[in-house]
Amino acid sequence: MNSSFASGLVRRWVAVFTRGLPAEVRFARSAEIDSDLWSQHEEAGSTGRSDRALAVQILVRLVLGTAADLTWRLERGRLADRSMERSTTMSMRIVALLAIVGGLGLTIGVAVFAVTFLANPDANPWVLVNDQPYGAVINVSGSAGLVAVCLSLGWLGLVLLNPPRESSIGLVAIVGAVGGLLGQVRAYAAMDLLPAASAVVVLYLARSHVVHWSLALIHVASAPGLVLLLAAYSNHALLGIGVGVQTRTQAAKNVPGTQIVNVERAEIVIMDRSQPPKAGSFSVSTRLAAIPTTSLGPLPRRGAPWPRPNSRRKKLGWSQRTTWALAARDLGYVSAGTCASRSSFAVSSWAWNCFFAIRARIGSPTLKNPPGSPSKAAITFVPPPSATKVLLSLNENGLSVVCTNRWLLSCSITSKVESTFRPRNLARDVMRVPTLTGVSDGVDSSTMEFHSGVLVGSSMYLNTSATGRLMCTEISNFTIGIQPPWCCLPGRASAFSVLRPLPAHCKQPTVA
């Protein structure tokens, strides 16, 4: 080691501990150290001191002074902070205060949630949110924190909108703040704007040297985490990302009196089929998958028929319907994007809504109801702006709950829809379906419905129509993707609407 190397160490150390200080302070200290080192070298040269001894002397001076350097850095940092504080306006103080309050609120909420979750490892974490008293703390603290953060961001946006500051960034901040506030009134999709906008704003602040880059990057990195958290919350799952693959070959049961039995899952509810599906094509379907709510009673056991309401048990039947409706609500139906639309099996424009593709290898160019089948179907529309269609159907064997995206100021409607498929009196089977948290991982849901249909021209038709009783259908499901919150909201669509009178503007059209 020579003196040049030691001098280099000193200069690098000066660069390190003066980082972040005002430029004049940083340069002054650096210049002084340079001058000192130069003088030290000069003296060593004049006195004939060896280079190694000089290097040792420099290193000793460096090491013994590091503590003083650090304390000086802290002193200088505080001075710089105080000078910045003096220069801030009242508006910026309000922004900072709101941000601090928001951070505290969120921290308390997350901490209580984490403690509660760790104490109840077997419970669904999102169920805990609704538990008392912890749930109240989590909700109140978290919501208050989020509101404060939104107000802080919005206020900052207003400040930035004033010239001569950055108006576009200010606009982004305001949009993010509004999105966050909308999320507080259950427009969860809009809440995604909050982390996105705050990330943009923080990057701008870092670029303007208002916020340190490291803090800004941490903040930006946390933004996708919040989006995934929202997705997980909407999914009633631990993760907002999941991959599931399932391939199943299902043999249909004998169905007396029918020609062809088309086996489909309830999720793949085919409404009117005015246009033939393309064999091998992908259709985005409504998915029925969730965690059963045991408190509302077990799901029907495999193969058991669902009780039917009749005149004698009408009241009980209605009660059962209600129970199932509630159960279905709590099951957390997800991805009620429009799927098999009334007009086509083409990939819906809402495909992005759920990233969930089911390749229904039905091998059939056409699907029609048997001639003479009564067809009374009602579809449910949610008023704009969501305009999300709901496609699940109901036949008299049981209740299927219509679920939908529910946006701010919209209403979701649970409708009773008579099945267009025959037979309607057989047909239930509890099955496991892939979920975003894994393949068939403790998730019971949905019913198998055995629909009658005509698979004209298909190989299956040829293979089975001779018997008129049986066919085999392979349904392969492949699930992959990130399920963003805006496609998961139907889990919170209200099945209670069954019991509520609908608002006048939500009257559903009936399609015969």
Partner 1 sequence: MEVSILEASVELARRAIPEAHGYLLAKEIRDGEGARRLTAYGTLYKALDRLERVGYLASRWEDPMVAATSSRPRRRFYRTTNVGKTALETARRGVPEASARRRPAALQT
For residue 309, what are its two tokens?
């309401």
Is 319 a binder of partner 1 (CB under 8 A)? no
Residue count at the site for partner 1 (CB under 8 A)? 30
Residue number, 66 or 323, with CB nearest to partner 1? 66
Find the shortest distance in angstroms from Cβ 209 to partner 1.
23
Identity of the amino acid at 398: G
Find the shortest distance in angstroms from Cβ 194 to partner 1.
43
CA 123, 126, 130, 135: dihedral to nearest 10 degrees? 90
DSSP class of residue 334 equals B
Q: How far apart are CA 253 and CA 150, in angstroms?
A: 56
Residue number, 24 or 122, with CB nearest to partner 1? 24
| φ, ψ for residue 106, nearest 5 deg | -65, -40
Is 117 a binder of partner 1 (CB under 8 A)? no
Find the shortest distance in angstroms from Cβ 83 to partner 1.
13
Q: Given its phi and psi angles, is residue 133 left (phi above 0), alpha (psi -120 to 50 degrees) or beta?
A: alpha
Could you tell me where the beta strands, DSSP code E, fall in 252-398? 261-265, 282-284, 356-361, 377-378, 380-381, 389-390
Residue number, 62 or 346, with CB nearest to partner 1? 62
**Part of the chain binding partner 1 (CB under 8 A), chosen from 35-43, 145-153, 156-164, 280-288:** 35-43
For residue 144, what are its two tokens?
């208050």
Is 38 a binder of partner 1 (CB under 8 A)? yes
Find the shortest distance in angstroms from Cβ 38 to partner 1.
5
Of 341, 333, 339, the closest CA to residue 353 belongs to 339
Site for partner 1 (CB under 8 A): which residue of 4, 9, 26, 36?
36
Residue number, 70 or 136, with CB nearest to partner 1? 70
CA angle 304, 306, 309 (to 5 degrees): 150
Find the shortest distance in angstroms from Cβ 140 to partner 1.
46
Residue number, 39 or 274, with CB nearest to partner 1? 39
Is 39 a binder of partner 1 (CB under 8 A)? yes
Alpha helices, DSSP H, located in 332-472: 459-464
Helix (H) or strand (E) holding 288: none
Is 7 a binder of partner 1 (CB under 8 A)? no
- Which residues fall within 8 angstroms of residue 332, CB to CB, at 6 or more apart? 235, 236, 290, 291, 491, 492
Residue number, 58 or 379, with CB nearest to partner 1? 58
Find the shortest distance in angstroms from Cβ 78 to partner 1.
13
Is 31 a binder of partner 1 (CB under 8 A)? yes
Residue list 50-109, contact with partner 1 (CB under 8 A): 57, 60-72, 75-76
- Report the DSSP pairing between strands 377-378 and 510-511: antiparallel
Is 210 a binder of partner 1 (CB under 8 A)? no
What does the binding site for partner 1 look like in residue numbers (CB under 8 A)?
A: 10, 28-29, 31-36, 38-40, 42-43, 57, 60-72, 75-76
